[in-house]
Amino acid sequence: MISKKSISDIPKLVFAEPRIAGNTGAAIRLCANTGSVLHLIEPLGFDLDDAKLRRSGLDYHDLTHLQVHKSFADFLEFTTCPKRRIFAFRTQAKVKYTHIQYSPDDYLLFGSEPSGLPERIWKNSFVSQCLYIPMRSYSRSINLANSAAIALYEAYRQLDFPK
């Protein structure tokens, strides 16, 4: 099991309304390897017992702290830390994810695979800033699990890879 110390040493990963079990499974594995916590905001496009979720997460499920929230409002109630910042990742944002100095109290928020973050979430007053991951102009988006890994590892690097 992960220690309380590791939970507080790195930003948390948040998937709002994810639809593809394999991406969430990959995020479970990512969080196990970094010590991050994975927050899932319902509705989910799969069951948490889904075979694809299990397969893509391999044997890392027991090493990951997973929190499921009924809604974005429920998630906000859960995350009451006064130093909390929520960074929403959107392809249309104006600030690069590398232009932020991350802290352990941060939350990295990503939307669902087919449609990204709903406007009601990214425009919420609790969202500190919208960020983007650069890509070629002809591309629409980067896979959810890959985007989460890019952003989380930048934060992990900035924090000198806490163990």
Q: What is the structure's pLDDT at 2?
A: 44
DSSP structure class, residue 60: -
Residue carrying the six token digits 């600030």 = 95
Q: So what's the pLDDT on residue 15?
A: 97
The CATH class of the 4-158 domain is alpha beta
Residue 113 to residues 16, 79, 134, Cα–Cα distance (Å): 10, 24, 17
Q: What is the pLDDT of residue 1?
A: 39
The whole-model pTM stands at: 0.90
DSSP, collapsed to helix, strand or coil, labels residue 130 as strand
Residue with tokens 């929520």: 86
Domain ranges of the chain: 4-158
pLDDT value at position 7? 59
* Confidence at residue 18, expressed as pLDDT on a 0 to 100 scale: 96
Do 17 and 43 touch, CB atoms closer than 8 A? Answer: yes
- Cβ atoms within 10 Å, residue 100: 19
Nearest alpha-carbon partner for 38 in 51, 50, 27, 52? 27
- DSSP tag of 99: G
* Distance (Å, whole) CA 64 – CA 155: 18
pLDDT for position 5: 47
Instruction: For the chain, 163 residues long, give each residue's pLDDT as a single digit of tens.
Output: 344 445 568 999 999 999 999 899 999 999 999 999 999 999 999 888 767 676 655 566 677 889 999 999 999 998 877 789 999 999 999 999 999 999 999 999 999 988 899 999 999 899 999 999 999 988 888 999 999 999 999 999 999 999 8
pLDDT number for residue 126 = 92
- Position 109 scores a pLDDT of 98
pLDDT the model gives residue 73? 93
The sheet that has 95-96: what strands, in order across it? 65-69, 37-41, 12-16, 106-110, 85-89, 127-132, 95-96
Q: Residue 25 and residue 31: Cα distance in Å, rounded?
A: 10
